[in-house]
């Protein structure tokens, strides 16, 4: 881990390319609300986000519209989510800025290195995401065993496809 008070890494962390992976950019922003039609009024009707798909999952308690801003490798997904059951968890509408997604060039290497360096991951491991890319989540809160977290922010790591790696790498 990086010790910000000393400005260098402690014994657990690697530096530079020794990590074996690179974070390439923002893949998505996921916004939750009790009613995704209200979210669409701003994001689609006012801002012009193009809805390109949808995803519904009982397990994830989500009904989402998958939108996009930008094109090609610079496209950023904008997910507008509402819970299937507001009383159930996960509560995809709380907090309203549910999570951010980051492209990573080697997801398995990232998870391995981060885990070895104290990063706490949410349950579920690496799995296919709504857009078909492998994903996993960094937990918003650390614990004694894994103290490094999103510090209140859920962070999704997304395996970048070859064209994104080439374009953003």
- The pTM (predicted TM-score) of the whole model is 0.85
Please give the span between the terminal C-alpha atoms of the chain, in angstroms, as a whole number.
24
Residue boundaries of the structural domains of the chain: 21-168
Specify the DSSP class assigned to residue 93: T
- At 9 the pLDDT is 39
- pLDDT for res 87: 97
Supply the pLDDT for residue 133: 96
Q: Which CATH number fits domain 21-168: 3.30.70.1380, 3.10.129.10, 3.40.50.150, 3.10.180.10?
A: 3.10.180.10
Question: What is d(CA 69, CA 78) in angstroms, rounded to the nearest whole number?
Answer: 7
What pLDDT does 17 receive? 59
C-alpha span between 158 and 137 (Å, rounded) = 9
Residue 89 to residue 140: CA distance in whole angstroms: 15
Element (H, E) at 38: helix 36-40
Give the pLDDT score at 101: 97
Residue-by-residue pLDDT tens, the chain, 169 positions: 444 333 333 444 444 558 999 999 999 999 999 999 999 999 999 999 999 999 999 999 999 999 999 999 999 999 999 999 999 999 999 999 999 999 999 999 999 999 999 999 999 999 999 889 999 999 999 999 999 999 999 999 999 999 999 999 7
Note the Cα 150 to chain centre separation in Å: 11
Query: pLDDT value at position 132?
Result: 92
Query: What is the pLDDT at residue 131?
Result: 87
Q: Are the C-beta atoms of 89 and 40 separated by less than 8 Å?
A: no
Place of tokens 């801002």: 47
């Amino acid at each position: 881990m990086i010790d910000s008070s000393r400005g260098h890494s402690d014994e657990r962390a690697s530096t530079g390319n020794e990590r074996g992976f690179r974070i390439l950019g923002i893949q998505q922003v996921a916004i939750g609300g009790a009613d995704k039609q209200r979210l669409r009024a701003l994001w689609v009707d006012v801002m012009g986000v193009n809805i390109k798909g949808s995803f519904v999952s009982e397990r994830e308690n989500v009904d989402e519209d998958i939108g996009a801003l930008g094109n090609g490798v610079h496209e950023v997904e904008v997910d507008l989510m509402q819970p299937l059951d507001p009383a159930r968890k996960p509560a995809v509408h709380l907090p309203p800025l549910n999570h951010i997604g980051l492209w990573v060039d080697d997801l398995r290497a990232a998870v391995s290195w981060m885990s070895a360096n104290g990063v706490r991951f949410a349950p579920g491991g690496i799995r296919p995401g709504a857009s078909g890319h492998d994903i996993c989540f960094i937990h918003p809160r650390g614990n004694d065993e894994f103290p490094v977290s999103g510090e209140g922010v859920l962070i999704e790591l997304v395996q970048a496809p070859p064209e994104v790696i080439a374009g953003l790498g």
